[in-house]
Chains A and B, each alone.
Chain A
Amino acid sequence: MKSIAVRALIVVVVLIAGVFCLLPTFVSSPLPGLSTILPGKIHLGLDLQGGMHLVLEVETNKAIENTADNLAEEIKDTLRTKKIGFTQVARTGNSSIEAVLPSNAQLSDFNEMMRRSFPMLTSTSQQASREGTKVLLTMSPQQRETLSTRAVQQAIETIRNRIDQFGVREPDIRLAGTDRIMIELPGVKDSQQAISLIGKTAVLEFKLEAQNVPQRQSEDHNLPPGVKLYPMRSSDSTAPETMVPLEDKTVLTGQNITDARVEIGGGSSSYGQATIALNFDRQGARMFERITGDNVGRKLAIVLDGVVYSDPVIKERIPDGRAVISGSYSDEEARVLAIALRTGRLPAPVKILEQSTVGPSLGHDSIQAGVLASAIGGLGIVLFMLVYYRVSGAVADMALVMNLIVILALMAGVGATLTLPGIAGIALTIGIAVDANVLIYERIREELRLGKTPRAAIDTGYERATITIMDANVTSAIAALVLYEFGTGAVKGFAVTLFFGLAANMFTAIFVTRVIFDYLLNERRVKELSI
């Protein structure tokens, strides 16, 4: 049994620490000198401050397909430089590449080349057919796994960059499971722009307009090889979609971009309109110069995510590595587009699995309702304890207030999020917290009835009840932990407050009240227990 002074000191220190942790939450003006050591405000969940919650799924299969497509292109290039003849190299299925060689003659050269330059692909079958020798190249499952994880990681990075540039305070972007991304954007105003920014794959490609394709031919979908139709972006959603025939080969991609920003157009066609100015890196600038130099008079289409944004005619060779995407956008749209281009493409498209948005007014109403209900509930209990246990009830009420301070301080301290169910959790904790005191007091009453002195009754009461309270709280703590492990968003917030509530309860209901009783009995020499 430690001396009462030491225990009282512990209580006071905890109380002061708790109050300090809560200063930033309740004092609106910044505290000079203290802000570096104090934790921040208590975070409010989306349900309380309004905002948007998204769960995205990264279509990692697409990332694997892209990689396979790129590999096929690289193989073709290597075969050409090595002067190995081939009829076809293309992706089949999700992650395999089929190469067709005209004969068996260069098969060993081909295999040698594959081993040396493309170790990630293994040749699983070779068979002779009418077209020649077919070789099937596949990726190992580990390879596919690595590609998927990398795609998800990259997607998270890219989305984080985009949101940072979009300007959301305290966003939360996290991996959820293996291929899902959880995004929380508190207080976001324009949810439409936010979603279109996050979800934009932003694959930027430059393609040359196909020459000599008569209008009728493109309508019949009877196109010469290497030509494809792309939809043209129109500012008016009611207008019929126009299709533009383009050469399928991409001459330049967005990977060579160093910067993209919004400019207000000064040209005759786009005067006063927002345009996006692109800067290329050195390699990109050289390529752009060559392309524009070789194709003066032709149209160069700028294709974003498979949609043609603009197809200006190349008037002259452009040496400075700059390009402009015009088109009729609102300023906000142009800004979002510039961010997406600047932060780079997503490695794979994403789709929305879950989205929820809470308007700011509901959040505000919820806080009011939740706090009001909790306050009435709490007040009722405080009064009840006072009436039922008199002075001892007041002691329990003091512990209750301290309990509340400790819970909130813990939440501020670890940066936990307060949600609406979390407020309910705190209210519930208050209800359960007095349970510990009721348990102790009922026990003390029992002991007093057996004729014990107040001193002895309190000692036995606390000793007996402590074990019971421990056991009872541990099971609730187990439930809270499981809930935290399982839960999402609001439910997690509930689990956190419940858990902290139980922890704080063990301290305040048992330790703190005991100190007060010991003080009353030892120092103030109280002879009668008011219980």
Chain B
Amino acid sequence: MQLIKPDINVNFVGWRNKAFLLSGTIILVGLITLFARGGLRMGVDFAGGMLIQVKLDKAPQSPELRQALSGIVSNAFIQQIGSESNHEYLIRTDTSHEELKSLYAEIGDALTKAYGPGQRVLRVEMVGPKVGHDLRQKALQAIFYAFLFIALYISWRFEPKVSSGLTMLLIVGIGIYALNGLDLNAEYLIGGALFITLALCWFLRLPYALGALLSLVHDILITVGIFALFNKEFTLEVFAALLTLSGYSLNDTIIVYDRIRENRNKDKKVNFGDMVNGAINQTLSRTVLTSMTVFFVILMLFLLGGTVIHDFCFAMLIGVITGSYSSVFVASPILIAYEDLRKKKVVAPGARRAETGSGSLKSGATTKRLGVKERESQPGRPAAGQANPAENASEQMGAEESSGDTAVKKPEVKAVRKSPKLKRQSSRPVGARKSGA
């Protein structure tokens, strides 16, 4: 049996700008909602307060549930869960008690007093405000460390540059230390450290780590945004889901990246964009199948698993969708976009230098410099590109484009696809796999 035809060839990469737009819109809507609401609706474990789940033998009429518990909770938010006939209620409040008494017993007594025997307290959770605050900080740090280790692992596995990975670890370490010294909130700490990590991926030329991290941020932002949009409670379990789905989303991304890595070593003639697209199509069947099986399992848990893990499953459901989406439409196109930008940046000053005759390129890798030098050795100035052989011509057109206006799109893209990246790879034929194994 086959769901996806083996010879499928969808131009996913061609949709990347639309995909970026879609992702950007969703993230933006999520962020706006987040700010408009003044942050996520934090669950009891993060915000402090109480969560009480009770099951009554009949619908509470007089006194109302709120009144029955008025001695213990104030400002309660009461919600019926399950079916109407179940008389099961969730009560949330932001007050917390630090005295040495059992809230479970007290609530049980209060309910018995109001409605007679036969009332059941299913669970009571009370978290003091201090603990909630600590947990929030710890959670943010955990997210950050997960990101960092994942970035390091990917740099190690996909870029044969151990030194870059180590440099990154060192600089990020110093960065965190400095940010810690400033005694900032974890929110800023994470923001700052994440920025450093992404910037480093860029400057140390770790496009795979950059792509994986950005798609991870993408997935998490979307999930958090949807939680804000539905005004759902952000609890410890949801946080656990967030970390799990970052692992899962990466799983997906890595499988596509792995194919790109394999193809890149196999055939160096194909242009980069086509190669990436090919890798996505070759793994598409697997991406769809796995997403389906995982989605199905979580859907079952979501529908049948009971109230306690409901939100956890909700977050995972979103995560599975965005995780698969992002590995196809975000993580892989980012590699291409990276090549585009790099190319523009490196070739543009290179072209100018060719004119002025200055040879050295500070930021260029040897192979990139080679590309420039080839052109330097050409007698013609960039303007007189028509004399060049086909290969260089396209590259030079790219150079012209970016140094001047970007009015004409097509030649630029072509130039980019025949990228120096490929040459760089060819200079290291054994590549990633050797270094990783």
Contacts and interface: CB of A to CB of B under 8 A. Distances in A.
Given A377-B300, A468-B254, A192 B101 contact: yes
Contacts of A420: 306, 308-309
A445 interface: yes
Contact of B286 (A199, A427, A442, A464): A442
A472 B296 contact: no
B123 interface: yes
B138 A192 contact: no
A471 B297 contact: no
B99 interface: yes
Contacts, number: 245
Among A190, A198, A467, residue most surrounded by chain B Cβ atoms (within 10 Å): A467
Given A374-B300, A377-B300, A431-B293, A195 B101 contact: yes
Nearest to A365: B306
Interface string B153-195: 1100100000000000000000000000000000000000000
B142 interface: yes
B127 A369 contact: no
A355 B126 contact: yes
B25 interface: no
A475 B305 contact: no
A439 B240 CA distance: 26
Contacts of A52: 102, 104
Interface in B273-304: 282-283, 285-286, 289-290, 293-301, 303-304
B236 interface: yes
B305 A424 contact: yes
Interface size class of B (residues with CB under 8 A): 35 or more
B187 to A, nearest CB: 16
B305 to A, nearest CB: 4
B145 to A, nearest CB: 5
Contacts of B128: 352-354
A373 B301 contact: yes
Nearest to A370: B305
B407 interface: no
A209 interface: no
A483 B120 contact: no
A359 B301 contact: no
B255 A431 contact: no
B296 A471 contact: no
Contacts of A384: 293, 296
B142 A485 contact: yes
A370 B306 contact: yes
B126 A194 contact: no
A485 B149 CA distance: 14
B304 A494 contact: no
A365 B120 CA distance: 13
A509 to B, nearest CB: 12
A364 B138 CA distance: 31
Contacts of B98: 351-353
**Main SS of the interface on chain B?**
helix
A64 B6 CA distance: 73
B251 A473 contact: yes
Given A449-B6, A491-B240, A435 B146 contact: no
Nearest to A46: B123
B422 interface: no
Contact of A380 (B53, B103, B236, B300): B300
Given A194-B102, A479-B146, A432 B296 contact: no
A511 B262 CA distance: 23
A439 B286 contact: yes
Contacts of A487: 236, 240
B301 A424 contact: yes
Interface string B93-127: 00001111111111000000000000011111111
Interface string A371-402: 01110111011001001110000000000000
Contact of A446 (B55, B282, B298): B282
B206 interface: no
Interface stretch (B66-74, B242-250, B356-364, B378-386): B242-250
Nearest to B144: A482
Contacts of B100: 195-196, 198-200, 350-352
Interface in B229-285: 236-237, 239-240, 243-244, 246-248, 250-252, 254-255, 258-259, 262, 282-283, 285
Contacts of A428: 244, 294, 297-298, 316
Contact of B157 (A355, A370, A430, A471): A471
Interface in A304-352: 350-352
Contacts of B258: 467-468, 471-472
Given A355-B103, A491-B240, A376 B247 contact: no
Given A352-B126, A354-B131, 6 more contacts: A191-B105, A357-B121, A370-B309, A374-B300, A377-B301, A475-B254
Interface of B: 1, 3, 6, 53, 55, 97-106, 120-128, 130-131, 135, 138-139, 141-142, 145-146, 149-150, 153-154, 157, 236-237, 239-240, 243-244, 246-248, 250-252, 254-255, 258-259, 262, 282-283, 285-286, 289-290, 293-301, 303-306, 308-309, 312-313, 316, 433, 436-437
Task: Give 3 closest A-B pairs by Cβ, nearest first.
Answer: A479-B247, A199-B100, A476-B247
7 contacts: A195-B100, A200-B100, A387-B1, A431-B293, A467-B436, A486-B139, A491-B240
